[in-house]
Structure 1
């Protein structure tokens, strides 16, 4: 099963035939084998039991601009005053 997204609490979200399953300790894009541990009327909860394949690597973050970039800019303490 492929984890399609990550919820607000950090659990992976997968869907099977339109049924949403929350799987803790997973990342979006990860392929896992799960065991459903709890079923409610609209969602279920599961745990990884094997077959985990890593999610695609995240893109490296851009480095901050060098100090030279800021040298020509002055602070504007009076911002918004006119």
Structure 2
């Protein structure tokens, strides 16, 4: 099983394309629109094998039709200003606590440690991650 770090910003399927003596992976527009990536920035990219198609998307050289068009991404399960209790599961590369809520959505909680259950206020919401501050306790 492949271990995926908590700092993961984006996950999508793409085909490696060849152009002359170079190879490219196209980043979907949605990743830019949802601020998971930005033009001109440098990112660490992981390549995982994709032996069998497990989704309903068309093969790369086919045009999508109404039955295979991508559905919109679900909205994040938290809102800015929302107060909730979360369980911190791990610590990220920057030392911040990482909690996961509905659908595995990640909430970053600075200063929190694994096992703590702080009440937090959601301060910033992005498509793939939210940032929160502790408003009450960190008792496990």
TM-score, scaled to structure 2: 0.37
- 2: CA distance between counterparts of 1:24 and 1:51? 13
Structure 1 match to 2:39: none
Gaps of 5+ in 1: 55-82
Structure 2 match to 1:37: 123
Matches within 5 A, 1:3-82: 3-17=88-102, 18-54=104-140
- 1: CA distance between counterparts of 2:97 and 2:113? 6
Gaps of 5+ in 2: 1-85
Asked if the contact 2:92/2:98 (under 8 Å) is kept, the reply is: yes
User: Post-superposition shift, 1:51?
Assistant: 3.2
1:12-62 alpha-carbon deviations (Å, 9 max, x no partner): 0001102100000111111110100000110000000003204xxxxxxxx
Report the aligned-residue RMSD: 1.0
Secondary structure of the 2:118 match is: strand
Work out which of the two has the higher radius of gyration on C-alpha atoms and give 1 or 2: 1
Question: Which structure's residues are more often strand, by fraction?
Answer: 1
State the structure with bigger RCO (CA 8 A, min sep 6), 1 or 2: 1
After the TM superposition, which parts of structure 1 deviate over 2 Å for at least 4 consecutive aligned residues?
none
TM-score, scaled to structure 1: 0.62
Aligned residues: 54
Secondary structure of the 1:13 match is: strand
Secondary structure of the 2:138 match is: strand
